[in-house]
Amino acid sequence: MSESRPNPYRMLLLLFVLVFILISVAEVWLLTVVGGTIGVGWILAILLLEAVVGALLLRHEGSKSWRALVAAYEAGRVPTGQLADAALVLAGGIMLILPGFFTDIIGLIFLLPFTRPYARKTVGWVVAHSALRDAPRGSTFPSAPRRSPRDPRVVPGEVVDQPPAPKPPASPGERELG
User: What are the tens digits of pLDDT across the range 82-99?
Assistant: 788 888 888 888 888 888
Note the pTM of the prediction, 2 decimals. 0.59
User: Which of 11-15, 42-46, 53-57, 91-95 comes out lowest in average pLDDT?
Assistant: 11-15
Nearest-angstrom CA–CA distance, 10 and 142: 18
Say what the pLDDT of residue 42 is. Answer: 92
> Read out DSSP for 48-97?
HHHHHHHHHHHHHHHHHHHHHHHHHHHTT---HHHHHHHHHHHHHHHHHH
| More confidently predicted of 130 and 136 | 130
Average pLDDT (161-174) is: 68
Tell me which DSSP letter residue 119 carries: H
User: Is 56 a residue whose pLDDT tops 70?
Assistant: yes
Please, how many CA atoms are within 13 Å of residue 52, restricted to the half-sphere of its CB? 6
pLDDT at 2 over 60: no
The answer, yes or no, to whether residue 12 has pLDDT greater than 80, is: no
Q: Looking at 57-71, 116-130, 156-170, which range is the least confident one?
A: 156-170
pLDDT above 80 for 135: no
How is the chain split into domains, by residue range?
Answer: 45-128
Question: What mean pLDDT do residues 111-115 have?
Answer: 88
> What's the mean pLDDT when you consider all of the chain?
78
- On whether the CB atoms of residues 33 and 86 are closer than 8 A, the answer is no
* Whether pLDDT at 147 is above 70: no
